[in-house]
Chains A and B, each alone.
Chain A
């Protein structure tokens, strides 16, 4: 059933890719990149899930289990969640870099249309 999540992540990635390829507005292109980042997060978290698992946090375990039993029990993969955490922070930083480039381009070229920007090259 988790394959539905994988497919949703793929669809999200494709939507982002379509935006990057087909839209002319530079801000829209950056949004497409944000969507692609989101799809990565979704894929990582979906891959971390195991059927019937709970969060890999030992504090206040669900009723009927202790910290020790939870550590050996059915939990989601903490390593993949950690990858996702790293990816989220890097995603924000990268978006900020993209957006400052876009703003500079808009100030310089008086347009955010990628065709016009390319046309004024050289």
Chain B
């Protein structure tokens, strides 16, 4: 054991030296590149100047960053949203549970068809159906129940009453403040941080009260539908802009007095869709990782992490 450790250390030292050499080379490159960047005395680029001066008259919003994110560079944000969607899809794919492939796929359907061909008028259907329902229920509880894994300390539903009290005060306040962050796009904020706040509220409830409280809200099947609905709203906004104004992410909503909820035209609905997208994406990713189980049982036939 120690010999192996030493050889590893030897190897590690080589690796460190190689890393130092590479990092030193990179440092020289970066030093040359970084000292050549524009400094703080340079004038603002034309694009930035244009974004600053057109935010108030053309978009009716007092927040140029939101104008750039959802307005002038809306198409980029659109693409970035779908990058997020792709990341969420890959995490869900990586963390999915093993499908039950014990039998032949579609066995049940075929059996039912065959049975109905042989016996078109089943009489003992009721009992059998109840039994099957009970079995399914049991199966579901089995797979969804508390983690009966080894080496895991006993799971309590939540933390203590003090923490729960503080969470009761804080969770609604955080939720309202998150909505404010999205709704008043005239102040810094918008869909991205508000989506993060949505994750924060759910995590606060999860940490203080336990999984059962948020199980309904964070089930992948439901949240995915909401996420795709958010993506659909973004596409809809863009397509309506294309049809009505002739370009994607053109403003087709009436402008109102800046500073209010409806100021900024399409910025607000776009921001709301981003909120849904980012919030559900982060929630899906986090809770998918949280629900991830062991399911490659093949390489440890009698290992304790084996499922079923």
Q: Direct contact between A and B in the complex (CB less than 8 angstroms)?
A: yes
Chain A: residues with CB nearer than 8 A to chain B?
1-3, 6-7, 9-10, 13-14, 17-18, 21-22, 24, 43, 47, 49-51, 53, 55-59, 67-68, 71-72, 75, 77-82, 85-86, 88-90, 92-94, 96-97, 99-101, 103-104, 107-108, 115
Residues from chain A with Cβ under 8 Å of B161 in the complex: none
Q: Are B11 and A92 in contact (CB under 8 A)?
A: no
Task: For B52, give the chain A residue with the smallest CB separation.
Answer: A71
Q: Are A77 and B48 in contact (CB under 8 A)?
A: yes
B residues 1-51 with Cβ under 8 Å of A? 8, 11-12, 15-16, 18-20, 22-23, 26-27, 30-31, 34-35, 37-42, 44-45, 47-48, 51
In the complex, 20 of the A-B residue pairs with CB atoms within 8 angstroms, ordered by the A residue number, are: A14-B23, A17-B23, A17-B26, A21-B15, A22-B15, A55-B188, A56-B64, A57-B63, A57-B188, A68-B56, A72-B53, A75-B52, A77-B48, A79-B47, A82-B69, A85-B65, A86-B80, A97-B91, A103-B289, A115-B11
Q: Are B26 and A71 in contact (CB under 8 A)?
A: no
Q: Is B192 an interface residue (CB 8 A)?
A: yes
Residues from chain A with Cβ under 8 Å of B207 in the complex: none
Task: For B284, give the chain A residue with the smallest CB separation.
Answer: A96
Q: Are A88 and B192 in contact (CB under 8 A)?
A: yes
Q: Are A78 and B56 in contact (CB under 8 A)?
A: no
Q: Are A78 and B64 in contact (CB under 8 A)?
A: yes
Stretch with Cβ within 8 A of A (4 or more), from B82-90, B162-170, B171-179:
B82-90
Q: Is B248 an interface residue (CB 8 A)?
A: no
Contact string against A for B residues 293-305, beta-carbon threshold 8 Å, 1 for contact and 0 otherwise: 0101001000001
Of all A-B residue pairs in the complex, the 10 with the closest CB atoms, nearest first, are A93-B87, A21-B19, A22-B19, A58-B62, A10-B30, A6-B34, A51-B40, A96-B285, A2-B40, A78-B64
Q: Are B90 and A99 in contact (CB under 8 A)?
A: no
**Apart from A75-B52, A79-B45, A82-B65, what are 18 other A-B pairs with CB-CB below 8 Å?**
A3-B37, A6-B34, A6-B35, A6-B37, A13-B30, A51-B41, A56-B65, A57-B63, A59-B63, A59-B187, A79-B51, A82-B69, A85-B192, A86-B76, A88-B192, A93-B83, A93-B87, A103-B292
| Known contacts A17-B22, A55-B188, A59-B63: A10-B84 contact under CB 8 Å | no
Residues from chain A with Cβ under 8 Å of B296 in the complex: 107-108
Q: Are A59 and B62 in contact (CB under 8 A)?
A: yes
Give bound CA distance, A50 to B39, whole Å.
Answer: 8
Chain B: residues with CB nearer than 8 A to chain A?
8, 11-12, 15-16, 18-20, 22-23, 26-27, 30-31, 34-35, 37-42, 44-45, 47-48, 51-53, 55-56, 62-65, 67-69, 73, 76-77, 80, 83-84, 87-88, 90-91, 94-95, 186-188, 192, 259, 278, 281-282, 285-286, 288-289, 292, 294, 296, 299, 305
Q: Are B187 and A3 in contact (CB under 8 A)?
A: no
Q: Are A10 and B87 in contact (CB under 8 A)?
A: no
Interface SS of A by simple majority: helix
